[in-house]
Structure 1
């Protein structure tokens, strides 16, 4: 009879993802994750097989969550008649999308997901900004500015106002 899992895989993967995004890929070891989860390293080996598989599962789970969050943000802002800033604010937490994208680029399947997500967000922005080539270009620039702001906010770069930039683009 199999033992009951005290900590579900999703929680273990969330901890592995946090270590990955803060300390880097080489910091994600069975020992490091075991220390944070209070599970034995052999238990983690049984669950995931290898550190690489655990990292892939953590990143894949994060993409699943970000894609679901994106769908919800689009639906909520459309239903409430809210604009670009509300949509991007809804996508800004709890997942650190710039860090997730950066961590995913080394894995072809995850890089494809990152590209598809960017296309999805840009398409949603385009719908909110109007139609045609100008709206599509403004959406692309808005996406890049938003991701750049998220990336640099942690380093004290809060001087940039995304809302003002969006107004100038449209």
Structure 2
């Protein structure tokens, strides 16, 4: 079967993000992206120049999707529903990978502040909002290892009672 000559950047970026989430930073090369997309490695090199530029472009797109999901979730009234609405877009492995990249770290920090501010509106104070954010991120990181017993709505109730 012939290789496709082109794919939209969004499709390539989603593929790169899937590889990053599954295999980490070392799982992405022109070769692995070429195999996953069907594009020639030379096409990818011509489009992005370097592997790092390719990864950064994909993570930039990732943050665009996270920010759009966060904005769309603004209509959710309760804290757990707000976080649940954001969760599909905000892969915790990609968030943590971004924290190691100085040029993208700022986007992660601004997003955390936005989410915590939105939680503070729902919970009534900033401190429980910061704790809820940390609980949510921790839960998402550990869920694949069997940490499914924790429920955000129970944490929201406990944090509300602590006020």
Answer whether TM exceeds 0.5 for this pair: yes
Aligned residues of 2:66 and 2:89 also touching (Cα < 8 A): no
TM superposition shift of 1:104: 0.5
Where does residue 90 of structure 1 map in the other structure?
A: 85
CA RMSD of aligned residues (A): 1.4
* Aligned ranges 1:15-164 → 2 under 5 Å: 15-74=15-74, 76-77=75-76, 82-96=77-91, 98-130=92-124, 135-164=125-154
1-structure distance, mates of 2:6, 2:44: 12
Q: TM-score, normalised on structure 1?
A: 0.88
C-alpha change, 1:95 and 1:136, in structure 2 (3 Å) is closer
Write out the 4+ residue segments of structure 1 that deviate beyond 2 Å after TM superposition.
none
TM superposition shift of 1:95: 3.6
C-alpha change, 1:5 and 1:72, in structure 2 (3 Å) is farther
Q: TM-score, normalised on structure 2?
A: 0.92
Q: Where does the alignment leave 5 or more consecutive residues of structure 2 unmatched?
A: none
Aligned residues of 2:69 and 2:89 also touching (Cα < 8 A): no
2-structure distance, mates of 1:46, 1:156: 42
TM superposition shift of 1:129: 1.2
